[in-house]
């Protein structure tokens, strides 16, 4: 009897682990095994942005910080500053470095609006999504329309590190760590 309980317990743990590995957004926080998808260096981002047509439909893991957002008929279009995807300790989030440079990309997200993510400039994130190619965007930083890498986000893990003050109702709604994962509809 004890042996059967032990075997069933081990099987239960294995099933739980396999279920967690396939849950939405799980690859965002587990960089091991996803090195091919990660955009962790400036040269990788430059290659992806310059030759995006070669990567259309491929899943990529990107990191960044929110610059602005526009609501469109296709969902939300987010302008983001690229940051290196953390090869280790992804749970701590992306960090700006001198190699980050002034690189930007667009995120299309179809899902419920997460106000704190989109409206707070500077919130950092990790995202899993498919490359769509490039889109022209009016970017105040550049002064005119510019072709930018466009990614359709599947899941986004957000750290509320932005500049704006957060209301007390939002503060009570989320945990003190102020991070979460949202996935597209």
Q: Give the chain's domains with CATH numbers.
A: 25-183 (2.40.50.140)
pLDDT at 183 over 80: yes
Distance CA 19, CA 15 (A): 6
Position 169 confidence tier, pLDDT thresholds 50, 70, 90: very low
List, for residues 6-33, the tens digit of each pLDDT value. Answer: 444 444 434 333 333 345 555 666 656 7
The pTM assigned to this predicted structure is: 0.73
pLDDT at 1 over 70: no
Within 10 Å of residue 140's Cβ, how many Cβ atoms? 9
């Amino acid at each position: 009897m004890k042996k059967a309980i032990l075997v069933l317990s081990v099987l239960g743990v294995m099933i739980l682990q396999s279920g967690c590995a396939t849950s939405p957004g799980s690859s965002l926080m587990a960089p091991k095994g996803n090195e091919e998808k990660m955009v962790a260096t400036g040269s990788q981002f430059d290659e992806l942005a310059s030759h995006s047509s070669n990567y259309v439909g491929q899943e990529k893991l990107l990191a960044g910080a929110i610059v602005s957002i526009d609501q469109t008929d296709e969902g939300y279009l987010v302008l983001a500053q690229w940051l290196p995807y953390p090869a280790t300790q992804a749970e701590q989030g992306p960090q700006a470095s001198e190699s980050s440079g002034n690189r930007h990309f667009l995120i299309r997200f179809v899902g419920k609006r997460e106000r704190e993510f989109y409206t707070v400039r500077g919130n950092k994130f990790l995202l899993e999504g498919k490359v769509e190619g490039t889109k022209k965007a009016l970017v105040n930083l550049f002064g005119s329309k510019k072709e930018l890498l466009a990614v359709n986000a599947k899941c986004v893990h957000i750290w509320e590190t932005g500049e704006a003050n957060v209301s007390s109702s939002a503060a009570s709604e989320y945990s003190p760590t102020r991070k979460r994962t949202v996935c597209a509809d």
